[in-house]
Structure formats: C-alpha cells, structure tokens
C-alpha cells in the first residue's frame, strides 16, 4: 500500500486496503481516498467503513464531503440500515437543503422523539415532502408531534385540517391563530360556534379579538345573545363601533366640498345678482358694474339736445311750431360734425 501511494496509484491503494482489512491504516486510507480518480471507489469506501469501521464513518464522510453525492450516500446508508450512524454528517450538509437529507434527518428526529429538533428543521429547511411528514406524525402518541403536524398543515394552507387537529387535542390557542392566518370568515364562524358548544367563554372572547378582521358583526352578536355571552362580546362591539365611526368620518372628510370652492361659488352668485339688478353695491370688486348718471350730470340724450341748440326737454328757440325736431331754425347754420377717430381733419383733402 505504501508503494502504491508513493507511485501515486491512489485508486489501487484504496482498493487494496478495502480488500485486505489487515492492511488498513486510518490516516493512510483518508489520505489516498481524497485523491482517487474513480468516484465509485469513494462509495465503496463508505460501505467498507460501515462494515469494518462504523465509528469512524463520519470522519470519512467529512473528508469526502466535496466529492460525493449526498443524496446517494443517504440512499446507500438507508439501504444498509445504518442511517443513524451518519447523523452528524447529515446535520453538517443539511445547509444545502437537499430533499433526501432533510427527509432522512426528520425521520431520525421522529424516531428519537426529538420534537424540538424536528420543529427547528421544519422551520429552517422546507425542501421535503411536508404533507407526508404531517400525515406520518398526526397520530403520534406525543402531543408535541401532533402539534407539529398541525403546524405543517398550516404552513401548506390546509387550515381546515390544522384546526381540526388542534381542536381534537384541545390546543385552542393554535386553532385560533390558524383561523386568524387563514382569513376565512366561514372558518372563524365555525370555531365561534364550536366554543359556544363547549361553553368556553374565554376562548370565544379571544377569538373575537384575534380574528376581528374576519368575523361578521351580526354573527358575533347573535351567538353572544343566544348563549348569554353579551359581556364577552362587548369589547368586540365597542371596537367595531369605533372602527365604523372612524371610517365614516374619514369618508365625510374626503367627500366634503373644499372651503375655497364654496367661497368662490358664493362670490360668483353675488356678482351675478348685482349685474342683474344694476346695483354696484352687490357686485364684487373688479366685476362689471352698470354706469348711472351721477349727481349734477345730464343724461346722454339731454346733453345731445343741448349741443344741438335745443333746450333740455323742449324745442329750440326760434323754431316754428310743427317743425320736426332736429332741424335747425331759419338763419342758423347746422353744427358741423366733429371729426372722430379715423376721419380726416378739415383742410386735409
């Protein structure tokens, strides 16, 4: 064996030690098995250790961790019925979250009745057949394993089955938490009726508090009234009333007209009324007000008559009766029109 190693024939050296156990040396074997070219020799080494050196198996597996297929090793050890020997190795490689490794460890935890380790494994590593595990331990003689079964059902959203197991074991806290996580109103109503049948007022009140978002108020009040649980339903009623009041108040705030819009609308209405009746006092600042004659001022039509030589309110002086108004009297030249905007000045033709 020593010569084969020095000649770098590591495969032959390992095969020789496997075939002749008297030539086995632990350090020499581990040194050579890491350098073999044929990976199948590593699996033969695992079988050799199980048969000849079972207490050193984990050391061999630790050396070969980077070279071997862990799922195949699990299958090989399960076939040899020596899976518990490799428990430290399985825990070391469970971080890779392989299905075969997780199922093997969970199986070992169930056999050892180590429910704490099983719960930790279920929480940390989810790559395994969870429903199969739950079905396997849902009838276990230990309560904690049945609780783990209900927990696994809850993780897989089988809330009805989980609540059923929890109620059967009288683990009412677990069942209430499962109902709250499910968000199912019918399941919440079912467990409320169950607590009414069991005459468990405290759990009835705890369900109303924990599953508040999923319980219909008419169902809660009716069950409390029929079973004499009015005092236990009052915290729920008070909370629901407050929640409803806050919601309505928030809706009123969102739908109420804004103050600026109301002010602008009132101002526009006042301006429209002022323009209709010609009252400057009723028009808003900057709005169009109707023009009226001020004190000491003539109306426009009187001013025009005055400019034409007609006294206000009558015929011009010297005009014979019956002459149509607007005609100048005899001997009087009619007034020349004043040039306006756009008209040429006299003498500019």
pLDDT at residue 300 tops 70: no
CA atoms within 13 A on the CB side of 38: 12
Alpha carbon distance 319, 323 (integer Å)? 7
Q: Is 117 exposed, middle or buried (0-12, 13-18, 19+ CB in 10 A)?
A: middle
Q: What is the pLDDT of residue 257?
A: 76
Q: What is the pLDDT of residue 44?
A: 92
Q: Would you state the structure tokens that stand for residue 251, as one six-digit string?
A: 């809706």
Alpha carbon distance 160, 170 (integer Å)? 15
Q: What is the pLDDT of residue 195?
A: 93
pLDDT at residue 216 tops 80: yes
Alpha carbon distance 174, 150 (integer Å)? 8
Q: What is the pLDDT of residue 3?
A: 64
Q: Which of 71, 7, 16, 2 is nearest to 45 (CA)?
A: 16
Q: What is the pLDDT of residue 301?
A: 47
Q: What is the pLDDT of residue 30?
A: 86
Regarding predicted confidence, which is higher, 119 or 29?
119
Q: What is the pLDDT of residue 341?
A: 45
Q: What is the pLDDT of residue 267?
A: 73
CB 89 within 8 A of CB 98: no
Regarding predicted confidence, which is higher, 84 or 326?
84
* Distance in angstroms between the alpha carbons of the first and the last residue of the chain: 139
**Unique residue bearing structure tokens 């109902």:** 179
pLDDT at residue 345 tops 90: no
Any idea how long the chain is? 349
What long-range pairs does 118-124 form, CB within 8 A, spacing at least 24?
118/145, 118/148, 119/148, 119/151, 121/94, 122/148, 122/151, 122/152, 122/155
Q: What is the DSSP letter of 125?
A: -
Radius of gyration of the chain (CA): 52
Q: What is the pLDDT of residue 35?
A: 85
With residue 246 as reference, give the H or E element that holds it: helix 230-255
Q: What is the DSSP letter of 112?
A: H
pLDDT at residue 180 tops 70: yes
CB 214 within 8 A of CB 186: no
| Highest averaged pLDDT of the listed ranges 30-34, 181-185, 275-279, 334-338 | 181-185
Q: What is the pLDDT of residue 20?
A: 83
Mean pLDDT of the chain: 80
- For the chain, what percent of residues have pLDDT higher than 90? 53
CB atoms within 10 A of CB 93: 19
Q: What angle do CA 46, 115, 207 make, to 5 degrees?
A: 145
Predicted confidence band of residue 234 (pLDDT cuts 50, 70, 90): very high
Q: Which of 80-84, 121-125, 156-160, 336-340 has the lowest mean pLDDT?
A: 336-340
Q: What is the DSSP letter of 1?
A: -
Q: Which of 126-130, 184-188, 245-249, 262-266 has the lowest mean pLDDT?
A: 262-266
pLDDT at residue 270 tops 50: yes
**Residues 90-101: pLDDT tens digits?**
999 999 999 999
Q: Is 135 helix (H, G, I), strand (E, B) or coil?
A: helix
| Dihedral, 38, 42, 48, 51 alpha carbons, nearest 10 | -150
Q: What is the pLDDT of residue 259?
A: 67
Q: What is the pLDDT of residue 317?
A: 47
**Residues 43-64: pLDDT tens digits?**
999 999 999 889 999 999 999 9
Q: Which of 140, 191, 139 is nearest to 163 (CA)?
A: 191
pLDDT at residue 284 tops 50: no
Burial 137-161 (b: 16+ CB within 10 A, else e): bbebeeeebbbbbbbbbbeeebbeb
Alpha carbon distance 93, 22 (integer Å)? 32
Q: Would you state the structure tokens that stand for residue 202, as one six-digit string?
A: 């405290």
Distances (CA, A) of 12 to 8, 20, 157: 9, 12, 55
Q: What is the pLDDT of residue 1?
A: 60
Predicted confidence band of residue 205 (pLDDT cuts 50, 70, 90): very high
Q: Calculate mean pLDDT across residues 180-202.
A: 92
pTM over the 0.75 mark: no
Q: Calculate mean pLDDT across residues 310-333.
A: 50
Predicted confidence band of residue 9 (pLDDT cuts 50, 70, 90): confident
């Amino acid at each position: 064996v020593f010569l084969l190693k020095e000649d770098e024939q590591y495969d032959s050296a390992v095969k020789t030690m496997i075939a002749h156990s008297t030539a086995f040396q632990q350090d020499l074997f581990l040194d050579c098995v890491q350098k073999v070219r044929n990976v199948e020799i590593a699996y033969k080494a695992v079988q050799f250790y199980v048969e000849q050196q079972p207490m050193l198996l984990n050391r061999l597996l630790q050396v070969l961790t980077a070279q071997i297929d862990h799922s195949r090793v699990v299958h090989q050890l399960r076939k040899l019925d020596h899976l518990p020997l490799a428990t430290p190795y399985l825990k070391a490689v469970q971080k890779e979250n392989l299905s075969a490794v997780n199922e093997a460890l969970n199986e070992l935890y169930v056999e050892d009745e180590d429910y704490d380790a099983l719960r930790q494994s279920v929480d940390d590593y989810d790559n395994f057949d969870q429903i199969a595990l739950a079905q396997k331990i849902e009838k276990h003689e230990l309560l904690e394993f049945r609780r783990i079964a209900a927990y696994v059902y809850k993780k897989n959203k089988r809330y009805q089955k989980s609540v059923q197991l929890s109620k059967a074991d009288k683990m009412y806290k677990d069942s209430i938490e499962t109902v709250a996580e499910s968000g199912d109103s019918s399941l919440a109503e079912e467990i409320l009726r169950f607590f009414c049948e069991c005459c468990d007022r405290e759990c009835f009140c705890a369900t109303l508090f924990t599953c508040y978002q999923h319980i219909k108020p008419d169902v809660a009040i009716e069950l409390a009234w029929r079973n004499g649980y009015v005092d236990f339903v009052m915290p729920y009623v008070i909370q629901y009333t407050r929640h409803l009041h806050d919601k309505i108040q928030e809706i009123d705030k969102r739908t109420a007209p804004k103050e600026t819009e109301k002010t602008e609308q009132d101002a526009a209405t006042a301006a429209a009324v002022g323009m209709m009746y010609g009252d400057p006092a009723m028009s808003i600042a900057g709005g169009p007000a109707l023009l009226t004659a001020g004190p000491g001022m003539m109306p426009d039509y009187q001013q025009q008559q005055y400019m034409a030589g007609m006294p206000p309110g009558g015929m011009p002086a010297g005009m014979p009766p019956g002459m149509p108004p607007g005609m100048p009297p005899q001997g009087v030249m009619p007034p020349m029109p004043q040039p306006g905007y756009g008209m040429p000045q006299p003498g500019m033709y």
